[in-house]
A and B are shown apart, each in its own frame.
Chain A
């Protein structure tokens, strides 16, 4: 109840303030007795004096007035009209008195006579298409025109050698010298730092100079990469985002991305993604088409995210889609076709080396061991005697192609009239995998992911003050691919023995009668035939997302000027299902081979299990429904031209429900509730202040802790608008500093399955706790288990965020934005560390005890310049550095092993052993500290440092090693340039301060017939060559736990720099294309991941520890974009 009262009090206060302000507005001056006695006064001074005395608001062009020479004036007890008459006497100005305002206008001066005048026609466009609503004026005159919906304008009576000025909000203005009466094509470049630019902020927009929060906005066109996945374009393009991609598999290639790194250890680390105000997943973001995006920004600090309350603690990605604009239908169509191939494949050793080293691996561990490959087999394989009896199977060749071809198409149409406007878009993408489709197989096993998107945004003005918007969006994925998925197919190749059997045996005359494929196999234990696994069946999935949104905007000016109301209701339905169809392959092995006749007898290995007919398996079925409601009340006003005030209140409700949740507690709807507010004040375009709050409720917590109040505030100072800055303006045309501080809450803590911390989670029917009795063991009861104890004290995780930002423009060419941030999180949920096993608890006990901090810098530099009207150049560089540290981390008390404490280290810091080198020999092992890893250690195994000196290598000897697993630095830089119709752009991207580990189990040669990496074959410890610094330790055929510990031995530097994209385009426009009814045609070629610089050579370094999975792709792309 306390909170409720506070809230009410705050609200009442706000209302009183608003009331007082509006009362002030109502005051009117009635006196009209003006007396002025001035000598040598400027006209502006006089006008101010009149305004002061009369109470009339006088509007005038200060520049025009300043050109008038100073004068002496004596006015006594005059009316306003008399005073004005006297002041403006003999000057080219007239005035109009309208109510309590006076408008002073310049009387037209007669034009000097001209020789002749031209009619100038032209088109204005930006890099995407024609621009409507651009004002084109003739410099020095009042003449001007506005472009129509096709970007066209006509100016009559233009004198030669005059200069046209094109201006539009959001674009750099451009001046063009008119030297002939021919049509002119003008291209404007986007300006996202313009002084009067409007910036998208939470639940609205703000003038850029009034913004105090920290956010990054990107021109959506920059996100256009030849890929069907938008998330892959984020890295290095937006200052403040840490992003990296670990897989190149269609449908699974989402990049991981975090705003300003990770400062929590709960499950929710990634940002909130809002598309048209509604929360979506990163897969939904991935499917978004840059063509459909109107704005794309990320919110980084406390004030920018405050209104999103509990959901914004990890930053917010805010995307709005395009809406229709008044005018005739505008159509844009884009078609792309690209070739995609693995950027780098893992190199494997040849089959002969494989066999020899496999034999070595057995013998080097067990002198009595039986070697798997006889010398005769090796010799016959070298000789190539019979590929079915002595196979050397290149599994990768059997399974994968060298490249694949993908298609993308996007169409959008927009337009509308005075009452209704529309935008709709359709997209079709087809991404294919690189799997081979074999002729003898009955179905296509290759990955084929088709995505269809349909979007329709309609806005209707119901009345002059009421606007409704309806947005519908559907996203549909149809996938068909191998049973195991692309990553697993790659991994299976790595786990398949190359010399035991071929992919399949030929159907010789003898086996002609058999219908099924004679897959290769062996009875020497379990084996993988990846070819059989690939062709034995296929999996399909279908994913869909439907969104319906209704928005109402009501201007409430009739109540009070500047008041408006907005409400939005949204529902999402997501569904997913998957089905597998497969047969069980028959495996054969060669049982008898006659070297003389070449006769080959086959023996079936699994007569019982194999089937020739298809079976099917049902997979996951997901159905989700989300309902979201938001309503907002807005108030904005300007007082005395200089005081800008605004206030906003937002109320949100959100519910999501999962049809197949898995257990009772998870099946209950997940709900969030919040009331947030914002108040801003700015003075004279120089000083701005802002206060925000979020008051949020979460059903996860016990009643006492359910609601959290999270205030934040900030100030900004546009220094360059100060008088004293004038001398610096030519060099630094804009300079602004900002600072914010605030709290943000997070209820997505612990595990997503921990729905209600205040309830215990009891499974009354747990098969893991069953017991069986009876003479024939057939009376069984499942038991009872507890997977969470009730805890009424769990509450919000709170982040305190501080941000200091600088913005400047240098030499009118460089826009620089730098943000320095600090964050401190407390109440992070942790499992108590002191609970020993003898307590017998079946679940961890948790408490809000963890604390962590984060800090870093986001920096972006933009450069824009046009060299004449034909040649332009833009450059952009982004840099993000985000690091974190544990501040309070509950862990056991270490006596001397201070290095075990996490405090002070980044959150994704790894702890591991320090690998000194490989042991020289068994004797050294015997004389070294015991390495407690289950199996005897020998020469050639990894030697670890006994850090605490207790003569044992145990977990206490693990120290923080390497850089964090999440990169701390992500950066990108690039340029775009154009000459006439030709344009070229390049973008480099890199990351640094990241360590990753080669997986020593997945890459372990011979372990369950795993493949041998060429790098290991070339560099491993052997009895003949006991190189103690070799890449791979002493060989073994089993997983040797000593050599698979997390240690510095397999640690690698994840730093890289790559040419992420490059694009070359040519635009056809003007008469040539107009003749065929088009406006503009652009053709382009582009590429992704064309060059990579890294010290790591085994696989694409960005994949880090997942190197054996589906490789990151290199893409060559051709596209055409047409608009009319």
Chain B
């Protein structure tokens, strides 16, 4: 017995003893989040993590709602892109499109981005072997990103929770539910405050362009500050009386229904400061340099307009997106110009008449105001004459709508009979011309075609390789902010704050001059049926709005502009119109056809919050109208 007893004793003790160590399989140094802040290089990785939440700016389909979510770009029924479904008025609370709150349907979960920015700011001091200057610079970049993510959310959801510090993972239900939407004024102040902190520290330029270009600098932060303040001063956020009962759980009014003119003054000041800083650092409007080919001034103007977008890091770009670069959007914008079959499927991004008719006449005034332009006859057709061959193919029959328009019309749009400069032909002779009618190279595919007959040529780099079976794209950093935008922001803010002034005309005229147009005063004074329009604040506002629509067409601005101006209920309650594109002859092709009846209601100014999120915290409240 004793023997057994001893044996069992030993067994049990050995079991208990080995048990403790046998199950300790985890070695030391398993990565935890602390490891991200041990060395400068890992800290840089975490900085890049913070950057990685930036929206897909150059993705018009399912990343950036601004390009294809309104009335600038349309598609044929084959396509079911998130942005397109949004544009068709299918937004819903069940599973919203481009949901940047939850990070679904093409949206990025920006609150995750904000949390990681906070983690970075909490931990960056721990990094050993990194200079204080580097830490300060990185912190400023992350502050900027934190501000930008809040701004992006505010544009979409209006009043949003401010997540200045992270709630702990172990937070109780009560702590979690205490989070609520904050008044938009508070959100704006918070964003501007963060931006100011960043601006104070950020470098004016990156040190090594080959490695750092695209990272946030002082001009970028200043320009975005101007954008934030202009947005905050706009009618949607400044004296909006549409939602008088919209209050958060603490009973605070979420929209300030009092108009404050000084918001515009602040915006104007910020824009002016941004312009001055950018210009001091060498930013200037882009003009096409001589390419080595003998080309006309007309072609040069076209290229000045086009290449301001598509040429990498041109002198106008303030903030270019290196994480989301323009690739697919170029393919989608390129109508086949070579006959025969292609093994790529592009040319399906379609520009509706709402945009086509927005462009000025050759005189630089709206086509319906132009004294010389035959507005009533615009859907009739005529044959192009030889002198027009830099715009329209000689002897080609096309709509009057496509004649005698401003250079930006021809630079930005491709259409049946229109010239296609570039893609191997860099002179003014033997140019390509788009053939959009049935039987033409750009037509006939089952779904790779423009449903309106127009395509945004502006997006396409003229040096992309193209052939019957060939299509290679040169990507460019998507211009999130460029100088022309800043000029227009300033002109708008200044006009709203102080009324028409020479300074406003000056900045508008800088843009118009590059576009090959007369200045505002001259153009309206000589060619418009409303020659004094520019002299009043309201008239000039209209001019600035239209100038913005044209200059920044397809760049992701109009979508937000229509909302902040509160004009969307008017401009987006509209028919989407195009030509009868499945036709062969000009007579049958050039008939305007209603493709879709777009609708926009009050609730569409803001994104709905997904229902599943609301039932987790009902105090969050659904966006108004949803």
A28 interface residue (CB < 8 Å to B): no
Contact assessment for A651 and B163 in the assembled complex, using a CB-CB cutoff below 8 Å: no
Determine how close the nearest CB of chain A comes to the CB of B212; give it in whole angstroms.
Answer: 5
| 6 shortest interchain CB distances as A-B pairs | A840-B115, A783-B49, A932-B92, A771-B48, A771-B51, A840-B111
Q: Which residues of B contact A707 (CB under 8 A)?
A: 19
B16, B42, B52: which contacts A7 (Cβ < 8 A)? B16
A-B contact pairs, 12 of them (CB 8 A): A523-B341, A675-B12, A699-B26, A769-B52, A783-B46, A790-B32, A836-B620, A840-B109, A893-B618, A934-B92, A956-B611, A1038-B78
Measured CA separation A697–B620 after assembly (Å): 44
A763, A769, A833, A932: which contacts B48 (Cβ < 8 A)? A769
B25, B313, B615, B617: which contacts A699 (Cβ < 8 A)? B25
| A559 and B12 in contact, given A762-B36, A834-B176 (Cβ under 8 angstroms) | no
Determine how close the nearest CB of chain A comes to the CB of B126; give it in whole angstroms.
Answer: 14
Measured CA separation A776–B23 after assembly (Å): 50
Determine how close the nearest CB of chain A comes to the CB of B370; give it in whole angstroms.
Answer: 32
A759, A764, A766, A789: which contacts B35 (Cβ < 8 A)? A764
Q: Which residues of B contact A785 (CB under 8 A)?
A: 49
A927-971 Cβ-contact flags toward B at 8 Å (1 or 0): 000101111100000000000000011111000000000000000
Q: Which residues of A contact B8 (CB under 8 A)?
A: 11, 15, 633, 649
Measured CA separation A762–B617 after assembly (Å): 29
Contact assessment for A756 and B611 in the assembled complex, using a CB-CB cutoff below 8 Å: no
Q: Select the residue from B16, B36, B49, B94 with max chain A CB neighbours within 10 A.
A: B94
A868 interface residue (CB < 8 Å to B): no
Q: Which residues of B contact A649 (CB under 8 A)?
A: 8, 11
Contact assessment for B211 and A838 in the assembled complex, using a CB-CB cutoff below 8 Å: no
A27 interface residue (CB < 8 Å to B): no
Measured CA separation A649–B12 after assembly (Å): 10
Q: Which residues of A contact B530 (CB under 8 A)?
A: none
Q: Which residues of A contact B12 (CB under 8 A)?
A: 7-8, 11, 675
A772-803 Cβ-contact flags toward B at 8 Å (1 or 0): 11111111011111100110000000000000
| A603 and B341 in contact, given A774-B213, A785-B49 (Cβ under 8 angstroms) | yes
Contact assessment for B313 and A775 in the assembled complex, using a CB-CB cutoff below 8 Å: yes
Q: Which residues of A contact B453 (CB under 8 A)?
A: none
A72 interface residue (CB < 8 Å to B): no
B342 and chain A: residue at smallest CB distance: A523
One of B95-103, B290-298, B330-338, B487-495 at the interface: B95-103
Measured CA separation A223–B611 after assembly (Å): 51
A525 interface residue (CB < 8 Å to B): yes
| A784 and B49 in contact, given A762-B32, A775-B209, A789-B169 (Cβ under 8 angstroms) | yes
Measured CA separation A366–B76 after assembly (Å): 10
A221 interface residue (CB < 8 Å to B): no
Interface size class of A (residues with CB under 8 A): 35 or more
B289 interface residue (CB < 8 Å to A): no
**Chain B, range 495-545, C-beta contacts under 8 Å to A:** none
| A934 and B111 in contact, given A524-B446, A786-B33, A837-B101 (Cβ under 8 angstroms) | no
Q: Which residues of B contact A953 (CB under 8 A)?
A: 94
Q: Which residues of B contact A772 (CB under 8 A)?
A: 214, 322-323
Contact assessment for A365 and B77 in the assembled complex, using a CB-CB cutoff below 8 Å: yes
A378 interface residue (CB < 8 Å to B): no
B33-57 Cβ-contact flags toward A at 8 Å (1 or 0): 1011000001011101101101000
B18, B22, B42, B44: which contacts A764 (Cβ < 8 A)? B42
Determine how close the nearest CB of chain B comes to the CB of A226; give it in whole angstroms.
Answer: 45
Contact assessment for B212 and A774 in the assembled complex, using a CB-CB cutoff below 8 Å: yes
Q: Which residues of B contact A368 (CB under 8 A)?
A: 593, 595
Q: Select the residue from B85, B323, B618 with max chain A CB neighbours within 10 A.
A: B323
B27, B171, B345: which contacts A668 (Cβ < 8 A)? B27
B130 interface residue (CB < 8 Å to A): no
A359 interface residue (CB < 8 Å to B): no
Determine how close the nearest CB of chain A comes to the CB of B46; give it in whole angstroms.
Answer: 5
Measured CA separation A563–B167 after assembly (Å): 61
Q: Interface residues, chain B, CB within 8 Å of chain A?
A: 1, 3-5, 8, 11-12, 15-16, 18-19, 22-27, 30-33, 35-36, 42, 44-46, 48-49, 51-52, 54, 77-78, 80, 85, 88, 90, 92-95, 97, 101-103, 109, 111-116, 161, 163, 166-167, 169, 171, 173, 176-177, 179, 209-215, 312-313, 322-323, 325, 341, 343, 345, 445-447, 469, 475, 477, 582, 593, 595, 611-613, 615-618, 620
A904 interface residue (CB < 8 Å to B): no
Contact assessment for B213 and A775 in the assembled complex, using a CB-CB cutoff below 8 Å: yes
Contact assessment for B176 and A835 in the assembled complex, using a CB-CB cutoff below 8 Å: yes
Contact assessment for B611 and A955 in the assembled complex, using a CB-CB cutoff below 8 Å: yes
Contact assessment for B31 and A664 in the assembled complex, using a CB-CB cutoff below 8 Å: yes
A86 interface residue (CB < 8 Å to B): no
Contact assessment for A837 and B111 in the assembled complex, using a CB-CB cutoff below 8 Å: yes
Contact assessment for A892 and B615 in the assembled complex, using a CB-CB cutoff below 8 Å: yes
Contact assessment for A762 and B31 in the assembled complex, using a CB-CB cutoff below 8 Å: yes
Contact assessment for A783 and B45 in the assembled complex, using a CB-CB cutoff below 8 Å: yes
Measured CA separation A781–B161 after assembly (Å): 31
| A834 and B616 in contact, given A560-B1, A776-B210 (Cβ under 8 angstroms) | yes
| A841 and B22 in contact, given A932-B94, A934-B92 (Cβ under 8 angstroms) | no
| A762 and B35 in contact, given A523-B341, A606-B343, A784-B46 (Cβ under 8 angstroms) | yes
Q: Which residues of B contact A936 (CB under 8 A)?
A: 88, 90
Measured CA separation A928–B385 after assembly (Å): 56
B475 and chain A: residue at smallest CB distance: A777
Q: Which residues of A contact B445 (CB under 8 A)?
A: 524
A813-849 Cβ-contact flags toward B at 8 Å (1 or 0): 0000000000000000000011111111110010000
Contact assessment for A366 and B52 in the assembled complex, using a CB-CB cutoff below 8 Å: no
**Chain A, range 102-150, C-beta contacts under 8 Å to B:** none
A930 and chain B: residue at smallest CB distance: B92
Q: Which residues of B contact A930 (CB under 8 A)?
A: 92
Q: Select the residue from B35, B101, B593, B616 with max chain A CB neighbours within 10 A.
A: B616
Q: Which residues of B contact A183 (CB under 8 A)?
A: none
A760 interface residue (CB < 8 Å to B): yes
Measured CA separation A697–B16 after assembly (Å): 10
Contact assessment for B169 and A892 in the assembled complex, using a CB-CB cutoff below 8 Å: no
Measured CA separation A523–B343 after assembly (Å): 7
Determine how close the nearest CB of chain B comes to the CB of A508; give it in whole angstroms.
Answer: 21
A1078 interface residue (CB < 8 Å to B): no
Measured CA separation A673–B112 after assembly (Å): 39
Determine how close the nearest CB of chain B comes to the CB of A693; give it in whole angstroms.
Answer: 14
A523, A777, A838, A935: which contacts B322 (Cβ < 8 A)? A777
Determine how close the nearest CB of chain A comes to the CB of B33; give it in whole angstroms.
Answer: 6
Measured CA separation A19–B179 after assembly (Å): 67
Contact assessment for A605 and B77 in the assembled complex, using a CB-CB cutoff below 8 Å: no
B120 and chain A: residue at smallest CB distance: A784
A356 interface residue (CB < 8 Å to B): no
Contact assessment for B23 and A697 in the assembled complex, using a CB-CB cutoff below 8 Å: yes
Measured CA separation A698–B23 after assembly (Å): 7
Q: Select the residue from A4, A365, A649, A845 with max chain B CB neighbours within 10 A.
A: A4
Q: Which residues of B contact A664 (CB under 8 A)?
A: 30-31
Q: Which residues of A contact B102 (CB under 8 A)?
A: 837
A1052 interface residue (CB < 8 Å to B): no
Measured CA separation A673–B22 after assembly (Å): 8
Measured CA separation A22–B475 after assembly (Å): 89
Contact assessment for A933 and B92 in the assembled complex, using a CB-CB cutoff below 8 Å: yes
B43 and chain A: residue at smallest CB distance: A784
Determine how close the nearest CB of chain B comes to the CB of A494; give it in whole angstroms.
Answer: 21
Contact assessment for B613 and A836 in the assembled complex, using a CB-CB cutoff below 8 Å: yes
A163 interface residue (CB < 8 Å to B): no
A12-29 Cβ-contact flags toward B at 8 Å (1 or 0): 000100010010000000
Contact assessment for B23 and A764 in the assembled complex, using a CB-CB cutoff below 8 Å: no
Determine how close the nearest CB of chain A comes to the CB of B348; give it in whole angstroms.
Answer: 11
Measured CA separation A936–B90 after assembly (Å): 7
Contact assessment for B611 and A954 in the assembled complex, using a CB-CB cutoff below 8 Å: yes
Determine how close the nearest CB of chain B comes to the CB of A290; give it in whole angstroms.
Answer: 37
B26, B88, B103, B171: which contacts A839 (Cβ < 8 A)? B171
B324 and chain A: residue at smallest CB distance: A772
| A839 and B111 in contact, given A523-B341, A775-B313 (Cβ under 8 angstroms) | yes
